[in-house]
């Protein structure tokens, strides 16, 4: 591991040096000694619901570091705006919610500040897997992990019972259950293959053992069309082709209605799903159960991740130190962790989170072991490296898989991977990244 | 006999047209009367009784942020359209009533401006305004909306049609200054046309999405289109938001409908007035 | 001012406020009136366009792994971005799609607008119905494209649509309006819905300006309303029709908000469904403003050529009315 990342570390450290020198020349007054009585106001871009309420707790206690939440539409629009602001040289917030898969892109665009000097030993308070999402395998720290999204499986226990089914242990079980449920009631589906959600597909590929990007010497490798991802694509393509799996995108009014009226009776999702189901499937509350992910190899359980973000300081912030103080509190202080879990409904990444996550989420009030399952899942995360152009790969995913899902052909699913691979590699080469192969 | 039959057909066609145009408005009216759980479960065209509750919820969304969006929109559209109308009127009058070197070059350049899509302009506009440190402010949305090639084009037509050259000559012989003439004679004569230009630009700014979407990061500066689209995005994972989106959409079109009804007589847009005359 | 010195000196020096002085003063006036417009035009239209053109010739070059602040530099790209844009396998289909979309939208929208305008002008309905219809049909113009697409989106999704509810109540399967075959029409419908009323008002205004004397005699001679419309009214409002056609054409080439809003709802609208969506994807999803700028320049040029070409074809009268 260490060896593999050595060049990356060198590059990142060099970059960090540049950043530091650049800062010291321009912002020395702010960066030098922080005047404890200096009043600063920081802006914070996030799209997590109710984050303003969590921040209010901080503002009440820190009159000199006031944080203002600017609510964003979502991860993609926020990143778009941040990158545009970086390009323009002004307009970025001080603090930014950054999904793990976007961190390399943002670092590559010089949007996130390295705060390794400011965070000190904070690293020890987080699982190694979560921290690697902000360190990119180096000594740098491009933020503090906030939450994580280990994949889990959610299903309507009443429907499973009616069909004499148990929670699927393997993907074979899942396929059999999908078929049985759809055969019993042609309106019901155990799930849908959503071409809008590249993040979920990435998590599924991760579970199967894929790691789409990698670093080899001073060049990148891209492995989107590998055997593991092929296996996942052909599995879901097969289910869609058979007609036992729906092919409509998730997160549409239609999908929400389907969760609520019992035509979608299962959801491969992540630990944060209760928050969504609470809104979408209100009428079926009490009928859902959470389970570990179906496995490719039940003997060696693995999972992937969908979602999860870090909180980062941007390169345009003039108050790096204060911003770091705030995000450290936000993501590691027990009071904040409790607020994050209870008010913002996220699954904090910090080790201490287990102490605040005692009650199961309201939607799964009867399932006392909810966070035990989630905790197990987070330990089984397969390693996965994100590259500097995840956005390109994801938009290629959207287009190629939308066509494949509409065509309902398994062959089209696997062919889409070749398209993704080519688009991603071409883009990296065109931009001048060293790409092996 | 023949005439009566045709008039029935005319009535029918017009009513069909009106029905087609009103269908989505009717739907949003009905949908906003439903509670979140009824929205996608009860028969679509069956109204419910929760309109008031939904308005209260909308009002409560993040301390009345919605009304702030409405006020912002009114500010952007009102100030933007007023400034743009004045600027267009001056330019249109100059182009219609003066002969000067470079006139046709200026006019053709402005015409070309009509053809440029906003999406294409938005990014470079952002980058340029960022250099001035003006992004994420009211000015970022207001300043670019002050210039409307289309408004200038219309103002030129109105000036040509409504300001008689003889009157201009008369004021000149009286020794009245050109700026004074503009204020006391020309603008009042163009009044009807200028209201139309104002309405045009008002609607264009009210409907604009791309420019504020890119320029603004702080949602307290959003106009209604950007705010609603954000709510819709949130609705994807919090379906309760759909009710707010639908109710918000309904409330957002009410002021424009009111504006249309009160200023109906100004909606007389003759794109080719001069053409007819010639 | 040098002109004054060469002026004939046959009379005494002109007194202040003489016609000539005033004329000289007046020569600057149009520029004064134009100044605010031209400054703003230069700042917010011309400069961005030139900047986009400049960006289209540039690209970013990353060194090594591309992590860190000094790893990115901007370099000249020549026509690289244009080649990539034009050879993108998604580009031509998106152009074709917009062409097909235009063939649906422009004739349907203008046909409906002309029909409604003539019906209103013919005054063959009760006044209240005419007024009601005129306002109703114009109303969609007040609805922002984003909001309109959002509303129609709800109406299109089979599970939540009243169209499908009604179809099912009548005993047959409702259509999936966002399926591969129908998406183009679904998007076109939103544009037609939003644009018909405005064009109707434009044509109606032109019709009202036609002196009734022109067709009263024809009416007395027993000509049908249809014949009057065809032979007298339509030819007279032709310049207005030409202008609505040009502006509709421009709007068509710029179709963006409707498919963009509908995209997340269905598999059938790709991120490059129209050329402007490709610009948006390149600039925002892919963070490649250089490729986006190149595609923008191509679209802008195509719009110019088409609109000016069309105006050349029909004669430039419409744009060049003078007193």
Give the pLDDT band (50/70/90) at residue A38. confident
Would you call A253 and B127 a contact, using CB atoms and an 8 Å cutoff?
no
Give the pLDDT band (50/70/90) at residue A191. very high
Average pLDDT, chain C: 82
The residue behind tokens 């991760």 is A206
CA separation for the pair C161, B44 (Å, rounded): 7
Q: What pLDDT was estimated at residue C170?
A: 79
Select the residue of B217, B230, B235 nearest A81 (Cβ to Cβ): B217
Which of A48, A370, B121, A118 is closest to C254 using CA atoms? Answer: B121
DSSP helix/strand/coil, B237 = helix
Q: CA-based diameter of chain B, in Å?
A: 74
Q: Which chains lie within 8 Å of chain B at 3 or more CB pairs, if any?
A: A, C
CA distance A113 to chain B (A): 20
CA separation for the pair A7, A434 (Å, rounded): 13
Would you call C193 and B110 a contact, using CB atoms and an 8 Å cutoff?
no
B53 CA to centre of own chain:
30
Per the structure block, which two tokens stand in for A161?
């019972």
3-class DSSP string for chain C: CHHHHHCCCCCCCCCCCCHHHHHHHHHHHHHHHHHHHHHHHHHHHHHHHHHHHHHCCEEEEECCCCCCCCCEEEEECCCHHHHHHHHCCCHHHHHHHHHHHHHHHHHHHHHHHHHHHHHHHHCCCCHHHHHHHHHHHHHHHHCCHHHHHHHHHHHHCCCCCHHHHHHHHCCCCCCCCCCCCCHHHHHHHHHHHHHHHHHHHHHHHHHHCCCCHHHHHHHHCCCCHHHHHHHHHHHHHHHHHHHHHHHHHHHHHCCCHHHHHHHHHCCCCCCCCCHHHHHHHHHHHCCCHHHHHHHHHHHHHHHHHHHHHHHHHHCCHHHCCCC
Cα dist from A35 to A39, A65, A223, A322, whole Å? 9, 12, 49, 11
Domain ranges of chain A: 2-142+309-345, 151-305+384-431
CA distance A71 to chain B (A): 6
CA distance B79 to chain C (A): 16
Asked if residue B87 has pLDDT above 90, the reply is: yes
Say which CATH superfamily domain C82-319 falls into. Answer: MetI-like (1.10.3720.10)
Phi/psi zone of residue A379: left (φ > 0), alpha (ψ -120 to 50 degrees), beta? alpha
Q: What pLDDT was estimated at residue A303?
A: 94
CATH topology of domain A151-305+384-431: D-Maltodextrin-Binding Protein; domain 2 (3.40.190)
Asked if residue B236 has pLDDT above 80, the reply is: no
Is A151-305+384-431 the same fold as A2-142+309-345? Answer: yes
β-pair partners for A312: A96
H or E stretch at A269: strand A266-270
Per the structure block, which two tokens stand in for B169?
């000559």
Q: What pLDDT was estimated at residue B270?
A: 60
pLDDT tens-digit readout, C38-85: 999 999 999 998 999 999 999 888 877 777 666 778 889 889 899 988
Rounded mean pLDDT of B111-137? Answer: 81
Task: Please give the share of chain B, as a percent, with pLDDT higher than 90.
Answer: 32
Would you call A252 and C285 a contact, using CB atoms and an 8 Å cutoff?
no
- Set of chain B residues whose Cβ sits within 8 Å of the Cβ of C224: 2
Cβ(A125)–Cβ(A352) under 8 Å?
yes
Give the pLDDT band (50/70/90) at residue C208. confident
Q: What pLDDT was estimated at residue B256?
A: 84
Would you call C68 and A80 a contact, using CB atoms and an 8 Å cutoff?
no
Say which CATH superfamily domain A2-142+309-345 falls into. Answer: Periplasmic binding protein-like II (3.40.190.10)
| Residues 199 through 218 of chain C touching chain B, CB cutoff 8 Å | 201-202, 205-206, 208-210
Helix axes C289-314, B118-131, angle to 10 degrees: 130
Q: What pLDDT was estimated at residue B207?
A: 87
Cα dist from B167 to A108, B97, B161, B164, B172, whole Å? 65, 11, 13, 6, 9
Asked if residue C323 has pLDDT above 60, the reply is: no
CA distance C240 to chain A (A): 41
- Set of chain B residues whose Cβ sits within 8 Å of the Cβ of A199: none
Rounded mean pLDDT of C146-167? Answer: 84
- Set of chain B residues whose Cβ sits within 8 Å of the Cβ of C239: 271-272, 275-276
Asked if residue C200 has pLDDT above 90, the reply is: yes
Q: What pLDDT was estimated at residue A35?
A: 64
Q: What pLDDT was estimated at residue A243?
A: 95
CA distance C293 to chain A (A): 14
Cβ(C146)–Cβ(B31) under 8 Å?
no
Phi/psi zone of residue A209: left (φ > 0), alpha (ψ -120 to 50 degrees), beta? left
Average pLDDT, chain A: 88
- Set of chain A residues whose Cβ sits within 8 Å of the Cβ of C158: 254
Give the pLDDT band (50/70/90) at residue A328. very high
How many A-B residue pairs are in contact by the CB < 8 A criterion? 81
Would you call A282 and B37 a contact, using CB atoms and an 8 Å cutoff?
yes
Cα angle A154-A159-A165, degrees, rounded to a multiple of 5: 85
Cα angle A192-A193-A194, degrees, rounded to a multiple of 5: 105
Cβ(A95)–Cβ(A328) under 8 Å?
no
CA separation for the pair A207, A214 (Å, rounded): 16
Name which residue leads in pLDDT, A31 or B85. Answer: B85
- Set of chain C residues whose Cβ sits within 8 Å of the Cβ of A315: 69
Closest residue in C to A423 (Cα) is: C88
Lowest mean pLDDT among B71-75, B273-277, C11-15: B273-277
Test the C interface: residue of B225, B270, B277 with most C CBs within 10 Å: B270
Give the pLDDT band (50/70/90) at residue A10. very low
Q: What is the pTM of this model?
A: 0.85
pLDDT tens-digit readout, B138-186: 999 999 999 999 899 889 988 988 889 898 888 888 888 888 889 888 9
Give the pLDDT band (50/70/90) at residue A306. very high
Q: How long, in residues, is chain B?
A: 278
Cβ(C223)–Cβ(C136) under 8 Å?
no
CA separation for the pair B114, B112 (Å, rounded): 5
Which runs of consecutive H residues, i.e. helices, occur in A148-272? Answer: 157-162, 171-184, 198-207, 227-242, 253-261
Cβ(C285)–Cβ(A391) under 8 Å?
yes
pLDDT tens-digit readout, A145-177: 999 999 999 999 999 999 999 999 999 999 999
Does the interface ipTM go beyond 0.95? Answer: no
Would you call A104 and C267 a contact, using CB atoms and an 8 Å cutoff?
no
Cβ(B71)–Cβ(B138) under 8 Å?
no
Cβ(C243)–Cβ(A223) under 8 Å?
no
- Set of chain B residues whose Cβ sits within 8 Å of the Cβ of C132: 18
Would you call B131 and A88 a contact, using CB atoms and an 8 Å cutoff?
yes
| Residues 66 through 105 of chain C touching chain A, CB cutoff 8 Å | 66-72, 84, 90
- Set of chain C residues whose Cβ sits within 8 Å of the Cβ of A420: none
Asked if residue B116 has pLDDT above 80, the reply is: no
Give the pLDDT band (50/70/90) at residue A81. confident
Would you call A84 and B127 a contact, using CB atoms and an 8 Å cutoff?
yes
Phi/psi zone of residue A292: left (φ > 0), alpha (ψ -120 to 50 degrees), beta? beta
- C268 near A CB under 8 A: yes
pLDDT tens-digit readout, C177-193: 888 888 999 999 999 99
Closest residue in C to B132 (Cα) is: C43
The residue behind tokens 């690697």 is A132
Count CB atoms within 10 A of the CB of residue B16. 11
Lowest mean pLDDT among A389-403, B123-137, C46-60: B123-137
Name which residue leads in pLDDT, A188 or B177. Answer: A188
Lowest mean pLDDT among B70-84, C21-35, C226-240, C306-320: C306-320
Domain ranges of chain B: 2-48, 65-277
Q: Which chains lie within 8 Å of chain A at 3 or more CB pairs, if any?
A: B, C
Rounded mean pLDDT of B47-53? Answer: 87
Would you call B271 and C136 a contact, using CB atoms and an 8 Å cutoff?
no
Would you call B110 and C49 a contact, using CB atoms and an 8 Å cutoff?
no
Select the residue of C62, C72, C267 nearest A249 (Cβ to Cβ): C267
CA separation for the pair A294, A44 (Å, rounded): 37
Rounded mean pLDDT of A343-371? Answer: 88
Cβ(A71)–Cβ(B68) under 8 Å?
no
CA distance C105 to chain A (A): 25
H or E stretch at B159: helix B149-162
CATH topology of domain B65-277: MetI-like fold (1.10.3720)
Would you call C268 and A402 a contact, using CB atoms and an 8 Å cutoff?
yes
Select the residue of A80, A110, A399 nearest C284 (Cβ to Cβ): A80
Would you call A70 and B37 a contact, using CB atoms and an 8 Å cutoff?
no
Name which residue leads in pLDDT, C106 or B157. Answer: C106
Give the pLDDT band (50/70/90) at residue A294. very high
Would you call C270 and A18 a contact, using CB atoms and an 8 Å cutoff?
no
Would you call A90 and B130 a contact, using CB atoms and an 8 Å cutoff?
yes
Select the residue of B13, B25, B165 nearest C139 (Cβ to Cβ): B25
Test the B interface: residue of C20, C128, C131, C147 with most B CBs within 10 Å: C147
Cβ(C137)–Cβ(C109) under 8 Å?
no
- Set of chain B residues whose Cβ sits within 8 Å of the Cβ of A47: 234
Would you call B115 and C31 a contact, using CB atoms and an 8 Å cutoff?
no
Test the B interface: residue of C19, C24, C25, C45 with most B CBs within 10 Å: C45
3-class DSSP string for C222-253: CCCHHHHHHHHHHHHHHHHHHHHHHHHHHHHH
Asked if residue A409 has pLDDT above 90, the reply is: yes
CA separation for the pair A305, A201 (Å, rounded): 10
Cα angle B179-B183-B187, degrees, rounded to a multiple of 5: 120
Average pLDDT, chain B: 85
Select the residue of C144, C206, C300 nearest B225 (Cβ to Cβ): C144
Cβ(A259)–Cβ(A267) under 8 Å?
yes
Rounded mean pLDDT of A82-99? Answer: 89
- Set of chain C residues whose Cβ sits within 8 Å of the Cβ of A14: 68
Select the residue of A18, A252, A395 nearest C68 (Cβ to Cβ): A18
């Amino acid at each position: 591991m260490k060896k593999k990342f050595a060049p990356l570390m060198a590059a990142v450290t060099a970059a960090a040096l540049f950043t530091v020198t650049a800062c010291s020349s321009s912002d020395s007054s702010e960066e030098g000694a922080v005047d404890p009585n200096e009043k600063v106001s920081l802006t914070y871009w996030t799209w997590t619901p109710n984050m303003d309420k969590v921040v209010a707790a901080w503002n009440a206690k820190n009159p000199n570091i006031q944080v203002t939440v600017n609510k964003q539409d979502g991860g993609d629009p926020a990143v778009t705006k941040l990158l545009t602001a970086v390009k323009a040289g002004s307009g970025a917030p001080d603090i930014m919610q950054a999904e793990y898969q976007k961190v390399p892109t943002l670092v590559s665009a010089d949007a996130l500040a390295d705060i390794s000097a400011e965070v000190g030993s904070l690293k020890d308070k987080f699982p190694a897997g979560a921290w690697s999402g902000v360190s990119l395998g180096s000594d740098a720290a491009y933020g503090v992990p906030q939450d994580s999204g280990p994949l889990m499986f959610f299903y309507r226990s009443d429907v499973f019972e009616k069909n004499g089914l148990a929670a699927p242990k393997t993907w074979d079980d899942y396929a059999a259950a999908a078929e049985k449920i759809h055969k019993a009631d042609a309106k019901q589906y155990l799930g849908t293959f959503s071409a809008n959600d590249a993040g979920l597909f990435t998590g599924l590929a991760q579970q199967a053992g894929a790691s789409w990007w990698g670093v080899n010497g001073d060049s990148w490798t891209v492995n989107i069309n590998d055997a593991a991802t092929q296996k996942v694509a052909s599995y879901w393509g097969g289910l869609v082709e058979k007609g036992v799996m729906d092919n409509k995108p998730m997160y549409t009014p239609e999908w929400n209605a389907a969760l609520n009226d019992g035509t979608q009776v299962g959801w491969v999702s992540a630990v944060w799903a209760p928050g969504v189901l609470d809104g979408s499937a209100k009428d079926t509350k009490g009928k859902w159960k959470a389970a570990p992910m179906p496995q490719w190899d039940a003997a060696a359980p693995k999972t992937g991740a969908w979602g999860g973000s870090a909180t980062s300081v941007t390169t345009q912030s003039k108050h790096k130190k204060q911003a770091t103080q705030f995000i450290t509190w936000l993501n590691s202080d027990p009071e904040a962790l409790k607020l994050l879990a209870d008010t913002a409904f996220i699954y904090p990444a910090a080790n201490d989170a287990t102490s605040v996550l005692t009650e199961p989420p309201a939607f799964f009030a009867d399932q006392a072991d909810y966070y035990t399952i989630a905790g197990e899942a987070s330990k089984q995360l397969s390693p996965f490296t994100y590259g500097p152009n995840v956005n390109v790969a994801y938009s290629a995913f959207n287009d190629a898989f939308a066509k494949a899902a509409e065509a309902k052909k398994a062959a089209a699913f696997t062919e889409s991977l070749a398209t993704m691979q080519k688009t991603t590699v071409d883009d990296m080469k065109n931009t001048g990244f060293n790409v092996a192969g | 006999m023949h005439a009566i039959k045709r008039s029935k057909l005319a009535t029918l066609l017009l009513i069909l047209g009106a029905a087609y145009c009103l269908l989505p408005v009717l739907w949003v009216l009905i949908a906003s009367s439903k509670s979140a759980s009824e929205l996608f479960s009860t028969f679509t065209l069956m109204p419910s009784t929760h309109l008031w509750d939904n308005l209260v919820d909308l009002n409560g969304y993040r301390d009345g942020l919605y009304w702030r969006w409405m006020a912002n929109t009114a500010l952007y559209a009102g100030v933007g359209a007023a400034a743009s109308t004045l600027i267009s009127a001056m330019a249109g009058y100059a182009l219609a009533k003066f002969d000067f070197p470079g006139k046709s070059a200026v006019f053709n350049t402005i015409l070309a401006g009509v053809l440029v899509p906003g999406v294409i302009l938005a990014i470079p506009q952002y980058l340029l305004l960022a250099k001035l440190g003006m992004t994420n402010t009211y000015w970022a949305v207001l300043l670019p909306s002050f210039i409307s090639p289309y408004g200038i084009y219309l103002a030129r037509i109105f000036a040509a049609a409504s300001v008689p050259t003889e009157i201009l000559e008369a004021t000149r012989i009286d020794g009245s200054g050109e700026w004074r003439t503009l204020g006391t004679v020309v603008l009042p004569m163009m009044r009807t046309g200028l209201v139309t230009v104002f309405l045009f630009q008002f609607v264009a700014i009210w409907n604009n999405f791309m420019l504020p979407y890119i320029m603004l990061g702080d949602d307290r500066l959003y106009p209604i289109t950007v705010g609603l689209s954000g709510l819709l995005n949130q609705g994807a994972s919090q379906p309760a938001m759909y009710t707010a989106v639908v109710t918000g959409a309904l409330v957002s079109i009410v002021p424009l409908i009111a504006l249309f009804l009160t200023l109906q007589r100004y909606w007389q847009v003759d794109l080719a007035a001069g053409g007819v005359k010639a | 001012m040098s002109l004054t010195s060469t002026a004939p000196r046959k009379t005494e020096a002109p007194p202040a406020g003489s016609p000539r002085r005033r004329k000289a003063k007046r020569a600057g006036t149009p520029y004064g009136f134009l100044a605010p417009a031209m400054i703003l035009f230069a700042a917010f239209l011309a400069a961005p366009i030139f900047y986009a053109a400049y960006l289209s010739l540039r690209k970013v070059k990353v060194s090594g792994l591309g992590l860190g602040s000094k790893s990115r530099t901007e370099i000249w790209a020549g026509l690289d971005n244009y080649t990539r844009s034009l050879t993108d396998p998604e580009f031509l289909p998106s152009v074709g799609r917009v062409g097909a979309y235009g063939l649906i939208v422009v004739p349907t929208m203008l046909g409906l607008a002309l029909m409604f305008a003539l019906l209103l002008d013919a005054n063959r309905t009760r006044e209240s119905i005419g007024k009601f219809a005129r306002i109703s049909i114009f109303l969609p113009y007040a609805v922002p494209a984003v909001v309109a697409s959002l509303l129609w989106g709800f109406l299109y999704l089979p599970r939540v649509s009243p169209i499908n509810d009604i179809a099912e109540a009548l005993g047959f399967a409702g259509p999936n309006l966002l399926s591969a075959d129908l998406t183009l029409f679904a998007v076109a419908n939103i544009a037609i819905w939003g644009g018909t009323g405005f064009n109707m008002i434009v044509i109606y205004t032109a019709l009202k300006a036609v002196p009734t004397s022109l067709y009263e005699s024809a009416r007395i001679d027993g000509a049908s309303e249809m014949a009057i419309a065809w032979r007298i009214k339509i030819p007279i409002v032709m310049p207005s029709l030409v202008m609505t056609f040009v502006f509709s054409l421009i709007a068509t080439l710029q179709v963006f908000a409707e498919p963009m809003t509908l995209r997340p709802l269905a598999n059938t609208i790709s991120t490059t469904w129209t050329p402007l969506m490709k610009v948006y994807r390149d600039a925002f999803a892919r963070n490649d403003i250089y490729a986006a700028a190149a595609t923008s320049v191509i679209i802008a040029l195509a719009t110019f050529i088409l609109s000016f070409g069309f105006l050349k074809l029909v004669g430039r009268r419409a744009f060049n009315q003078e007193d």
